[in-house]
Chain A
Amino acid sequence: MSWAAHDLEPYLFRAKLGGIISLPLCLLGSYSPDILSKWAVYGLDFTGDAKLVSDPVQLHRGFPGVGFTHSLSFGILCAAIVLLASRNPMWAFSFLLGAWAHVFSDTLDSVGVMLLWPLTDWHLHFDVWQYVGQAGRKEDAIAYYTSLGGVWDILWAVWLGMHWRMFTAYHFHTEIVPRDSFWRWMRTRASDAMMLTVYRASAFFGIASIIGWYVWALLVNDFQNALDWSLGGPQWAPRQGPP
């Protein structure tokens, strides 16, 4: 699985594709595959001791389970619902792009995704880093940020940093608000500071998380606190996913 990449990818799509992307809907699409299942995968506490299901990997990425949320068809179905409900093709396309970006990002771990479900439950997985979600949030954070997963997050953060001007109030008011009816609707109901908070929230949390997790995993935490940028790492984590 990916961590902050899911928070940051929609901003890059907005920066690169411009006014055809609705950032709130793209973010919603990006969150959609995990929004109902991640808490059950990790359990109720930080350490992973308070497990809720016996096979978190099967629940998260398999079928039976909710692995169908990580498929192309799930994104299409949700985008169709968005289109029917809103009659806004931009919102539907943005949702679809966010959802598919999440799905393709998650192909990089060892479990991968059922890309073509319901046609097949075959998993597309590139094994760039190890899936460790079954061990709980704490161990997954250590594994992810000491492996190439953390590099994946850094890549998106650096790329987004090159577009830092999109987070200025000036850019928001002149480029973002006029092109998306979501913000024009919100402007009649929320203060300027609240709108900017909503606009920046996912990027702020994503970038602060990357910095915080790296410092914590390498300098504060005392379990496996060394970088392992080998393909399929970290090597201490047990292999998960299809062969």
Chain B
Amino acid sequence: MPPTPRPPAVSRPRAAVAFWVGAVLLYAGLGVLLPPLFLLGFWESVPFLFLATWLAGRLFPRPVPRLPAAPGE
């Protein structure tokens, strides 16, 4: 009986978790270098997070489920 190929769904979440752990550590590292900018500035974290979110969407794509239509839609 031929061996069953390993499903990619197992490794992809691990890679995504590793990606996000890396993103958090990278931002924390920026904060250590320049605390007044990165660790005090919540708004400064938003562009970084947006970039990471956009990149994660490209690296680990998932279909966005459709919501049930609201009345009148």
Q: A: which residues have CB within 8 A of B?
A: 45-46, 137-138, 141, 164, 167-170, 173-174, 177-178, 184, 187, 192-194, 196-197, 200-202, 204-205, 207-209, 211-213, 215-216, 220
Contacts and interface: CB of A to CB of B under 8 A. Distances in A.
A215 B26 CA distance: 13
Contacts of B57: 169, 192-193, 196
A137 B40 contact: yes
Contacts of A204: 23-24, 27, 45, 49
Nearest to B41: A205
Nearest to A191: B54
Contact of A208 (B28, B36, B46): B28
A69 B23 CA distance: 35
Given A169-B62, A192-B64, A216-B32, A208 B50 contact: no
A197 B64 contact: no
A216 B29 CA distance: 9
Interface string B4-16: 0000000000001
Contacts of A168: 16
A113 B42 CA distance: 25
Contacts of B70: 184
A212 B53 CA distance: 20
Contacts of A211: 24-25, 28
Contact of B65 (A46, A174, A209): A174
B40 A208 contact: no
Contacts of B30: 212
Contact of A201 (B31, B39, B45): B45
Contacts of B45: 201, 204-205, 208
Contacts of B17: 164
A207 B20 CA distance: 12
B6 to A, nearest CB: 21
B1 interface: no
Interface string B38-73: 111010011001100110110000101101101000
Nearest to B42: A205
A212 B49 contact: no
Contacts of B35: 46, 138, 141, 212-213, 216
Contacts of A46: 35-36, 40
> What are the 8 closest A-B residue pairs judged by CB atoms, nearest first?
A212-B31, A212-B28, A211-B28, A46-B36, A208-B27, A197-B50, A205-B45, A208-B28
B39 A209 contact: yes
Identify which of B20, B50, B56 gathers the most chain A CB atoms within 10 Å of its CB: B50
B73 to A, nearest CB: 10
A207 B25 CA distance: 9
Contacts of A192: 57, 64
Which of the listed residues A192, A202, A208 has the most CB atoms from chain B within 10 Å of its own CB? A208
